[in-house]
A and B are shown apart, each in its own frame.
Chain A
């Protein structure tokens, strides 16, 4: 849009330049003429051209301003959608070998509830993950349990069971690669994926 505004300005300037060029155009005709005096026709024509150029420039400005206003509204909606998406996909984490929702993570889940309520066509998939400790295979069951715990919390807070799918990745998809508590605590998590209705998220 900024480009368009500059283009409009350029057009206006070009109009003026053209006008000037016409105005200053030397009269090369060697034939004798009457004493030079104001040519009312040419003055009128110049004024008319100026009036048209001004009108075009003004229309361009109005169009640009209107687009900017629309853009600003769209930006606000996009920001709201992004905030809704962020709330919806924010991860929660778990204590070692536990699937209970931690007290400090309840607000993360609480923030998803109004977003889901404001967007009834949205469905989500919750993926449970574990850290690398423990049995590779037993961790698949633990991951499923974590996803199920998250789902149960959301269902208790009024979200329809059918809108939440649960899966497990066990310890197969770590996001932190280390072999210490710092990495493990990041990997013990539930991730959220919007599986339908994510294109037009509304703010709660």
Chain B
């Protein structure tokens, strides 16, 4: 996952080949002209995806267009593909009539051409009237298969990086619980599969490479299980232990350990264990009658946010990853009625997303990891169990806004939401890193 500081993001933005609409005074840096400061919450690039030829060209184009739309960083301009002649201009090298696109307010053009090896992708900067990026992408699997669609998502994410400086999230996936099954779906809602997990499996979590899922089982013989997605093989990592319930496993950001909850005879505590197994390490000192659970590890691996009822009601705490220096994070509006839970640490390290009960309904908030004023993100229905996308901008969560609990995705910058799943009772979503290699830029 990316770890982008504010400074880093500014540097990345300065290197952008595209400038948002005219704004303020021009600033020159490294020979590239930008206009003003990019504001991710409002500025979107206007882009056209040209029609794609070939047997599955329409599908390729539809997937890329949808991926760019779902990134919430683009406005897609529809063009009339029945008259491609209007787009051509014999006077330019690429044959595109840039003045026409400029007239339509288009800033970037994505041109995808099927080639024997897969897809040739060119990005045109309309303002400069030039192709600024080209790359050939291999396509995996048979057309329309899960692997093939994943290849297209990776094209979309690279195009997003070419334009915005940050990779998109189309190549990520979401694991969640439907009934007694743990499922995995592409972040655009397609290519869904069911994993062969224990009937009492719950709380799926990804490793940072998105190659493994950890989950816990409840009821008799509760345990922590890790599953290798490439082989489908599962193994018990922790438990079963008599009179103990194991729950809420999460991987550390380096992928080497799993942090989980052990609810025993007198209390619940956080523990960790190497993914390869071995001795368990107790993290929270523990206190009789106090339940500590739902850990999420910071992107730098140094701290853990978790839920504890040490003050009587469930609140969020942050401690060092060795279990020391625990301090309450949600120290605003103390009340006997508080219930704050489901924390997830944003991949850029800045925010904790969580659910808070307000007037008997859970809603999603974010709060800076340094504490301070929380921001309310939802109000319709009940909204719970937020999980960050690798772009530290989108959240997947459960919402009952249609009357049934289903999975929804929100762009926390613009507030735009879309429904991911449509089956009643879907819950406990976990958003993976981008598939296929480095999670960074």
Question: Which of A125, A140, A148, A165 is the one whose CB lies under 8 Å from B218?
Answer: A140
**Additional 17 contacts, C-beta under 8 A, given A127-B219, A136-B384, A169-B219:** A135-B355, A137-B202, A137-B261, A137-B342, A140-B216, A140-B248, A140-B263, A141-B247, A141-B263, A141-B291, A143-B245, A145-B263, A145-B291, A152-B265, A167-B220, A167-B222, A168-B219
Question: Which of A135, A148, A167, A169 is the one whose CB lies under 8 Å from B265?
Answer: A148
* Chain A interface, DSSP helix/strand/loop, else mixed: mixed
Are B291 and A170 touching (Cβ within 8 A)? no
Question: Which of B200, B261, B427 is the one whose CB lies under 8 Å from A141?
Answer: B261
B428 interface residue per 8 A CB criterion: yes
Are B265 and A166 touching (Cβ within 8 A)? yes
A65 interface residue per 8 A CB criterion: no
Are A138 and B341 touching (Cβ within 8 A)? yes
Q: Which residues of B contact A (CB under 8 A)?
A: 200, 202-203, 216, 218-220, 222, 242-245, 247-248, 261, 263-266, 268, 289, 291, 293-294, 307, 314, 339, 341-342, 355, 384-385, 427-428
Residues of B within 8 A of A141 (CB): 245, 247, 261, 263, 268, 291, 293
**A144–B222 alpha-carbon span in the complex (Å):** 11
A:143-187 near B, CB below 8 Å: 143-145, 148, 151-152, 165-170, 172
B198 → A minimal CB distance (Å):
13
Residues of B within 8 A of A148 (CB): 243, 264-266
Look across to chain A and name the residue whose beta carbon is closest to the beta carbon of B341: A135
**A142–B243 alpha-carbon span in the complex (Å):** 13
Are B293 and A138 touching (Cβ within 8 A)? yes
* 19 CB-based A-B contacts, threshold 8 Å: A127-B219, A135-B355, A136-B202, A137-B341, A138-B294, A140-B218, A140-B247, A141-B245, A141-B268, A141-B291, A142-B291, A143-B245, A145-B263, A148-B264, A151-B243, A167-B218, A168-B263, A172-B202, A172-B218
Take A127-B219, A168-B218 as given contacts and tell me if A138 and B314 are in contact as well, using a CB distance cutoff of 8 Å.
yes
Residues of B within 8 A of A137 (CB): 202-203, 247-248, 261, 293-294, 341-342, 428
A134 interface residue per 8 A CB criterion: yes
**A172–B245 alpha-carbon span in the complex (Å):** 14
Look across to chain A and name the residue whose beta carbon is closest to the beta carbon of B243: A166
Residues of A within 8 A of B242 (CB): 165
Are B268 and A144 touching (Cβ within 8 A)? yes
Residues of A within 8 A of B341 (CB): 134-135, 137-138
Are A168 and B248 touching (Cβ within 8 A)? no
Residues of B within 8 A of A167 (CB): 218-220, 222, 245
A124 → B minimal CB distance (Å):
12
B271 → A minimal CB distance (Å):
13
User: What are the nearest 10 A-B pairs in CB distance?
Assistant: A144-B263, A135-B341, A144-B245, A141-B268, A168-B245, A141-B263, A141-B291, A140-B247, A166-B243, A141-B293
**A170–B265 alpha-carbon span in the complex (Å):** 15
Are B245 and A140 touching (Cβ within 8 A)? yes
**A170–B293 alpha-carbon span in the complex (Å):** 13
**A80–B314 alpha-carbon span in the complex (Å):** 45
Are A135 and B291 touching (Cβ within 8 A)? no
**A178–B17 alpha-carbon span in the complex (Å):** 57
Are B220 and A125 touching (Cβ within 8 A)? yes
Residues of B within 8 A of A134 (CB): 314, 339, 341
Residues of A within 8 A of B248 (CB): 137, 140
A:126-140 near B, CB below 8 Å: 127, 134-138, 140
Interface centre among A135, A142, A170, A172, by most B CB within 10 Å?
A135
A52 → B minimal CB distance (Å):
63
Residues of A within 8 A of B266 (CB): 148
Residues of B within 8 A of A135 (CB): 294, 307, 314, 339, 341-342, 355, 384
Residues of A within 8 A of B218 (CB): 140, 167-170, 172
A53 → B minimal CB distance (Å):
61
B166 → A minimal CB distance (Å):
31
Residues of A within 8 A of B428 (CB): 136-137
Look across to chain A and name the residue whose beta carbon is closest to the beta carbon of B200: A172
A184 → B minimal CB distance (Å):
12
B4 → A minimal CB distance (Å):
29
Look across to chain B and name the residue whose beta carbon is closest to the beta carbon of A173: B219
Are B291 and A138 touching (Cβ within 8 A)? yes
Residues of B within 8 A of A140 (CB): 202, 216, 218, 245, 247-248, 261, 263, 293
Look across to chain A and name the residue whose beta carbon is closest to the beta carbon of B354: A135
B68 → A minimal CB distance (Å):
34
Residues of B within 8 A of A170 (CB): 218
A152 → B minimal CB distance (Å):
8
B290 → A minimal CB distance (Å):
10
Residues of A within 8 A of B289 (CB): 145
B175 → A minimal CB distance (Å):
15
Residues of B within 8 A of A125 (CB): 220
Interface centre among A127, A140, A143, by most B CB within 10 Å?
A140
Are A136 and B427 touching (Cβ within 8 A)? yes
Residues of A within 8 A of B244 (CB): 144
**A51–B287 alpha-carbon span in the complex (Å):** 86
A145 → B minimal CB distance (Å):
7
Look across to chain A and name the residue whose beta carbon is closest to the beta carbon of B220: A167
Residues of A within 8 A of B385 (CB): 136
**A125–B203 alpha-carbon span in the complex (Å):** 24
